[in-house]
Amino acid sequence: MADHDIYGVMAEFDSPTALVRGANRAREAGYLKMDAYSPFPIEELREALGFRQTKLPMIVAGGALLGALAGWGLQVWVSSIAYPLNVGGRPLISWPSFVPPMFETAVLFAAFAAVGGMLALNGLPMPYHPVFNVPRFVMASRDRFFLCIEARDPRFDRAATRTFLESLEPREVSDVER
């Protein structure tokens, strides 16, 4: 099998501690493109894999700002252009009464931005992933922990990466085919 037919090399571990230790050692060895799979969240794993801050908070803030502006614009258009109604000499554009609807539209747009941004940044929906080709990967949702070093990593060499992962003393090391 040629190197372009492979997604990466994956090691299977028995415990979360072994997985975090393996991810730390891989990061120290210079591997950058790797991912870990676990049946439950492991707090230390994020740092061990070298994940950086996400852009999601900025996307949500942008959605909230857009929502507040849309709410304000809609109210200005309705109260002063589409259906101006002067009640008791009050101004047509009365911003204090616009605040609650602006807040509600800001929350609505922020929620849509959060869901859309999360799906886009995570690359979802993804009904298929190459790691599903490894027969033992079904254990990732039960009691096994996996570390996959991807072939797109600059340091990736199939034989050297396999040897490195075997040095971490995993239960098994498998090639991940595309």
49 and 62 both lie in a single domain: no
| Domain end residue (candidates: 75, 95, 122) | 122
Reported as a single tens digit per residue, the pLDDT across 40-78 is: 999 999 999 988 889 999 999 999 999 999 999 999 999
Euclidean distance between CA atoms 149 and 151, whole angstroms: 7
* CA nearest to 168, candidates 140, 151, 149, 155: 149
| pLDDT, position 118 | 96
Q: What is the CATH number of the domain that holds 150?
A: 3.30.70
Same domain flag for 49 and 132:
yes
Same domain, 81 and 165: no
| Assessment of whether the complete model's pTM goes beyond 0.85 | no
Do 116 and 74 have their domain in common? yes
Answer with the one of 97, 122, 147 that is the final residue of a domain: 122
- List, for residues 93-122, the tens digit of each pLDDT value: 888 889 999 999 999 999 999 999 999 999
Q: State which residues form the domain around 114.
A: 58-122
Same domain, 105 and 151: no
What's the half-sphere exposure (Cβ side, CA atoms, 13 Å) at 62? 9
